[in-house]
Amino acid sequence: MDRLDRLRGPEPPRPHDARAIAALAANPGCARRAVLDAAGVDKDAVATHLGFPAPFGRSPFAITRGDAFEALVKEGGGAELLRLLRELLGLPLPLAGYTDLADVGGNPSAHLRHSHTRRLIDRAARDAGEAATLYDHPLLRLEIAGYHSYLEPDVVAFQLGGRFHIVEIKSFAVVDGQAEPDKVAAAARQAAVYVLALSTLLAELGHDPSRVSHEIVLVCPENFANRPAATLVDVRRELAVLRRQLARMTRVGAIVEPLPDTLTFDLGRDDGGVPRRPVAELRSAVREVGARYAPDCLNTCDLCFFCREEAAEAGATDLLGRQVRDELGGVATVAEALALADGSLAPDDDRAEIARLLRLADRLYAEVS
């Protein structure tokens, strides 16, 4: 992994949280993103230094609301949560222990907290007779491209019918049984990361990994109230996608291999942490690795504005979206497509067909508009 360290520079790798891991599936065809992610580069900092800061921000109101809702759900040693689980899973759960795994004294390292989680989960898995327990603030671990990322699910519930359930607390509303599909999808992808990390842990400890349920418990405010409601969400598809993407990341070597040895995305921070690397130099470095820009990147990737600008400079049809790009067959640039359409460019054999279609479209457009 020396090579990836060199690409990143002296900074420590940016830890992947579940959200970041889930986002790996957003545009897997993009080599630039794959390399930067695998090397643990802080893409947001790179984008900012390049002059294209990411357009993502979170409102303080949303953060407050999210925290308040989570606190409400966990209130009173998880009493409310237990009530929800009892109803949802139809289990007689008269008693439940509540263990705060963050509570290991002092200011523990992630490693220490993870070991603590590991010990308690092991004990829970061993002792089948143990009463249901809610584990708050567990710290799980997943290996991403050679590095351990620590992950903190909201709650792990054990044991409900002998199985572990990941509980995901989100503050978006479920109104009359429906929630915004994109938000549910994001929650499901994120929860799938925890499911995978927890099953990996069980397997490492010699337990049956399938004791982690692939149905996660999504807890959201119901309707317009603050009252929480729980829904089961089947994350098997998200798990399959995640496994695929993680396997893919181990193959990033093939992309890195042909890159120049001296290539680095180091920001050249000075002692005060201010990036000092000449922007033009960083720009050329980033451009060494090809991007696959699509407008969807605007919702998911820190580098989106940089890559969009690059696509615009190149006159790439990618700029207009996947559908337009697909409609244009193999034509990659706007200039070429337009020249084929107005007949100023004679098509080669490969382009003959799309040229015919574009000429016809051009003729019809001129005829009726």
Residues 276-305, interacting with another protein (CB under 8 A): 292, 294-296, 298-299
Binding residue (CB under 8 A) for another protein from 181, 258, 272, 273 = 181
Q: Does 344 bind another protein (CB under 8 A)?
A: no
Stretch that binds another protein, among 11-19, 137-145, 161-169, 180-188 (CB under 8 A): 180-188
Binding residue (CB under 8 A) for another protein from 4, 84, 121, 184 = 184
Q: How far is the CB of 114 from another protein (least distance, A)?
A: 28
Residue 136 contacts residue 78 (beta carbons within 8 Å):
yes
Q: Does 75 bind another protein (CB under 8 A)?
A: no
Residue 279 contacts residue 50 (beta carbons within 8 Å):
yes
Q: Is the peptide bond before 159 cis (omega within 30 degrees of 0)?
A: yes
> Which of 360, 268, 291 lies closest to 30, judged by CA?
291
Q: Does 226 bind another protein (CB under 8 A)?
A: yes
Q: Does 70 bind another protein (CB under 8 A)?
A: no
Q: Does 26 bind another protein (CB under 8 A)?
A: yes
Residue 87 contacts residue 222 (beta carbons within 8 Å):
no
Q: How far is the CB of 330 from another protein (least distance, A)?
A: 4
Q: Does 71 bind another protein (CB under 8 A)?
A: no
Stretch that binds another protein, among 74-82, 132-140, 280-288, 330-338 (CB under 8 A): 330-338
Q: How far is the CB of 269 from another protein (least distance, A)?
A: 25
Q: Does 248 bind another protein (CB under 8 A)?
A: yes
For another protein, which is the closer residue by CB, 29 or 94? 29
For another protein, which is the closer residue by CB, 100 or 362? 362
Q: Does 323 bind another protein (CB under 8 A)?
A: yes
Residue 117 contacts residue 139 (beta carbons within 8 Å):
yes
Q: How far is the CB of 276 from another protein (least distance, A)?
A: 26
Q: Does 312 bind another protein (CB under 8 A)?
A: yes
Q: Between residue 36 and residue 55, which ones bind another protein under the rule CB under 8 A?
A: 55
Q: In angstroms, rounded to a whole number, what is the distance separating the alpha carbons of residues 140 and 17?
A: 11
Q: Does 174 bind another protein (CB under 8 A)?
A: yes
CA distances 367 to 47, 354, 360, Å, are 45, 20, 10
For another protein, which is the closer residue by CB, 26 or 120? 26
Q: How far is the CB of 3 from another protein (least distance, A)?
A: 22
Q: Does 320 bind another protein (CB under 8 A)?
A: yes
Stretch that binds another protein, among 123-131, 160-168, 257-265, 334-342 (CB under 8 A): 334-342
Count, residues near another protein per rule CB under 8 A: 87
